[in-house]
């Protein structure tokens, strides 16, 4: 189970890092090429697939004692975080597509964040504590691996 959690979190972190490279291109006011846009779309599909596969794995298997609650917490947190990022990207795309001026208001950002109550500092601390307790070394959350 330790290896499954590590694989899920490391894969999630790796996909996030790759996504960040595309974000840097877009943030520099450069347009993505059609090939890059297709790769970004495939990357987003892989993120959703990774989340779905881990969620399915933990819901369809008997987990060792002391892993079920925190595995579900990890799944909710990562999926929620990915959903928030996806919705934020979509809102930015909509703003750009409609040539809207201005920035997001704090209210709009808070609204996105409040949609998923499982993505917050307290939940992250609980996850990190679980990872420490179970001695799970991962790239996620700026940790060791």
Which pTM was predicted? 0.84
Which structure tokens are listed for 109? Answer: 């950002």
Which structure tokens are listed for 72? Answer: 């579900």
Q: Are 140 and 13 in contact (CB under 8 A)?
A: yes
How many other C-beta atoms lie within 10 A of the C-beta of residue 78? 25
Output the pLDDT for position 14.
95
Walk along the chain (145 residues) and give the pLDDT tens digit of each residue.
Answer: 999 999 999 999 999 999 888 888 877 777 778 888 889 889 999 999 999 999 999 999 999 999 999 999 999 999 999 998 888 777 766 666 665 555 555 566 667 667 777 888 999 999 999 999 999 999 998 876 5
- Separation CA 86–CA 101 (nearest Å): 21
Output the pLDDT for position 10.
97
- Separation CA 56–CA 108 (nearest Å): 32
């Amino acid at each position: 189970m330790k290896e499954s959690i590590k694989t899920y979190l490391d894969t999630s972190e790796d996909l996030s890092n790759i996504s960040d490279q595309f974000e840097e291109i877009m943030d520099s006011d450069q347009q993505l090429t059609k090939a890059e846009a297709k790769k970004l779309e495939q990357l987003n599909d892989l993120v959703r697939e990774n989340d779905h596969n881990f969620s399915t794995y933990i819901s369809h298997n008997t987990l060792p004692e002391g892993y079920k609650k925190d595995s579900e917490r990890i799944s909710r947190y990562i999926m929620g975080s990915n959903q928030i990022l996806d919705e934020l990207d979509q809102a930015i795309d909509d703003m750009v597509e409609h040539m809207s001026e201005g920035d997001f208001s704090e209210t709009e950002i808070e609204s996105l964040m409040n949609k998923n109550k499982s993505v917050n500092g307290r939940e992250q601390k609980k996850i990190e504590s679980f990872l420490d307790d179970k001695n799970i070394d991962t790239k996620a959350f700026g940790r060791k691996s």
